Amino acid sequence: MKFKITRDALVPIASVLVALAIGAILIAAQGHSPMQAYHVLIVKGFQSTSGLQATLSKAGILIISGLAITFGLRAGLFNIGAQGQVLSGALAFTYIGYRLHGIPMWIHIPIALIFGAACGALVGGFAGFLKATRGVHEVISTIMLNSIMAAIVDYLTQNQFRLQGQPNTRTPDILHSARLPHIFGYPTGFIIAVLLAIVINWVFKRTTIGFELDTVGRNRSASWYAGISVKKSIVLGMLVSGAIAGFTGGMFSSETTGYFVPAFYSGIGFDGITIALLGRANPIALIPGAIFIGGMRSAQSAIQFEAGVSPDIINLLLALVLFFATAPFLAKLIKSNAKTLTTTSGWGS
């Protein structure tokens, strides 16, 4: 899948511009200055060193989250409820992160990350299992699992995993040996994320397993004809998608939060959907979008303090960007002939 820089790349850029224009009108309608708001956005998100560091840290998380969705999309699965897998992965990572004492960082971090990914895989894989064996569409099952995971995670944080003697509900701090270090102030997570994107791209391009998943995503009956087990691919696709989502939660805990409170993680899985769709289910092509959204997200609180605009403006802007980038009318205006993306169609298993 080659990305044509010319017209096809113009579509997302035009979408951003249109979204910003509509956002400006709405900000002005609320009695704030859109120029000031966007100024804060640019400075805090992309210009200052500290802003850039925060952006890249956020972008790293979002790349992985987008990869989780992308992995599913390529196999014809829409893991719309990745959020639940992110939460389970985050709590699992945190638990290993504060519980295992006295081991070196190079063992502690991988163990905790693998454990987090495994928990995410369990949740995603369950949805895959339901689809493969019972014909339950993953869009509904993963949304339901979201709420179920939110409840379980909430319960555990309030009881078994709670840091006692504290007024607010939270887990103990993750030990230093499980915190991802920064390199010259820049987040390691971003590098891991880019490497992961390259690996996943390679998996789909060069490995037989990746080719099998890709084939199932494009044409299920031809896959079966060609000797690929569709059911196995569905379970595997959801399992890996869930694992990556769980990994996202773990990495965010390790690099940013330091302990677990469910609210920290809100929106990560859903931003992943936006990023995957903007990147048209291509592991490499989603990176610029993730950096852009990372910048918006890291400037989110500053926009309220410094410009007085509700931080939810970011949600709105992202929604508009997604709308204009995916709906074909802007693309038609620009005469790009990029095809619209398809996931699966119908409720059929």
Partner 1 sequence: MLKRFNIKPWQLILGVVLLGVWIYCYIANTDITNSVVASGMRFGMPLALAAMVGIMCERSGVINIGIEGTMLLSGFTGFYIASWSKNIVAGLMIAILTGILTSFVHAMMTIQWKMDQIIAGTIINILASGLTSFLYKQGSTIPNSWPIFDIPILGQIPFIGHAFFTQQGPIQYLGLILIPAIWVMMYKTRWGLRTRAVGENPGSADTAGVSVIKVRMINVMFGGAIGGFVGGFICLELVGSFSKEFTAGSGFTALALMIFGRWNPMGAFAAAILFGLAQALSTQLQIFGVTNIPNQFITMLPYVFTIVVLAVSAGKVRPPAAAGKSYEKEQA
Partner 2 sequence: MEALLRIEHLSKSFPGVKANDDISIEVHKGEIVALLGENGAGKSTLVKSVFGLVKPDSGTITIKGEEIEPGDTAAAIRHGVGMVHQHFQLVPVMSVVENIILGDEPHKGVFVTKKAAREEVIALSARYGLEVDPDAFVEDLPVGIQQRIEILKALRKDIDLLILDEPSAVLTPHEIDELLEVIRKLAASGVGILFITHKLHEVMAVADRVVVLRNGKLVGTTTPKETNEEGLAQMMVGRNVVLSVEKGPARAKEVALEIKDLSVKDDRHLDAVTHFSLEVRAGEILGIAGVEGNGQRELVEAICGMRHRQTGTVKVSGKESPDMDPRGVHLMGVSHIPEDREKDGLVSSYSIADNLTLNQFNLKPFSVKGIRDFNARDEYADRLVKEFDIRTPSFQNSASSLSGGNKQKVVVARELTQNSHVIVASQPTRGVDVGSIEFIHKQLISARDGGAAVLLVSAELDEILSLSDRIAVMFGGKIVAIIDGQDADRQYVGRLMAGLSG
Residues that bind partner 1 (CB under 8 A): 26, 78, 80, 130, 134-137, 139-141, 143-148, 151-152, 154-155, 158-159, 270, 273-274, 277, 310, 312-313, 315-320, 322-323, 326-329, 340-349
Which does residue 58 touch among partner 2, partner 1, none (CB within 5 to 8 A, set by kind)? Answer: none
Burial of 63 (0-12, 13-18, 19+ CB in 10 A): buried
Quote the least distance from Cβ 286 to partner 1, whole Å.
15
Q: Tell me the C-alpha distance between 200 and 229, whole Å.
A: 21
Cα→Cα distances 95→66, 108, 157, 174, Å: 25, 12, 10, 8
Pick one of partner 1, partner 2, none as the site partner of residue 341 (Cβ within 5 to 8 A by kind): partner 1
Nearer CB in complex with partner 1: 135/181: 135
Pick 302 or 318: Cβ nearer partner 1: 318
CB 77 within 8 A of CB 234: yes
E strand or H helix at 187: strand 186-187
Residue 100 interaction partner, one of partner 1, partner 2, none, beta carbon < 5-8 Å per kind: none
Residues counted in the chain = 349
Ramachandran angles phi, psi of 91, nearest 5°:
-65, -40
57 binds, among partner 2, partner 1, none (CB under 5 to 8 A by kind): none
33 vs 229 by CB, closer to partner 2: 229
For residue 316, the partner it binds in partner 2, partner 1, none, with Cβ less than 5 to 8 A by kind, is partner 1
* Minimum CB distance to partner 1, residue 309 (Å): 9
111 binding partner (options partner 1, partner 2, none; Cβ < 5 to 8 Å by kind): none
Return phi, psi of residue 81, to 5°: -105, 40
Residues lying near partner 2 in the complex (CB under 8 A)? 206-209, 211-212, 215, 218-219, 221-228
CA within 13 Å, CB half, 160: 10
Q: 105 CB contacts (<8 Å, ≥6 apart)? A: 176, 177, 178, 181
CB 331, min distance to partner 2, A: 18
Based on its alpha-carbon atoms, the radius of gyration of the chain, rounded to whole angstroms, reads: 20
The least distance separating partner 1 from the CB of residue 343, rounded to whole angstroms, comes to 5
Specify whether the backbone of 194 is left (phi greater than 0), alpha (psi in -120 to 50) or beta: alpha
- Taking the complex as a whole, the smallest distance from the CB of residue 84 to partner 2 amounts, in Å, to 31
Give me the least distance between CB of 177 and partner 1, in Å please: 31
What does 310 bind: partner 2, partner 1, none (CB cut-off 5 to 8 Å by kind)?
A: partner 1
Q: Which is nearer to partner 1, 57 or 85 (CB)?
A: 85
Q: In angstroms, give the least distance from the CB of 145 to partner 2.
A: 29
Per DSSP, the three-state class of 33 is coil
Closest to 63 (Cα-Cα) out of 324, 325, 293: 293
30 DSSP 8-state letter: T
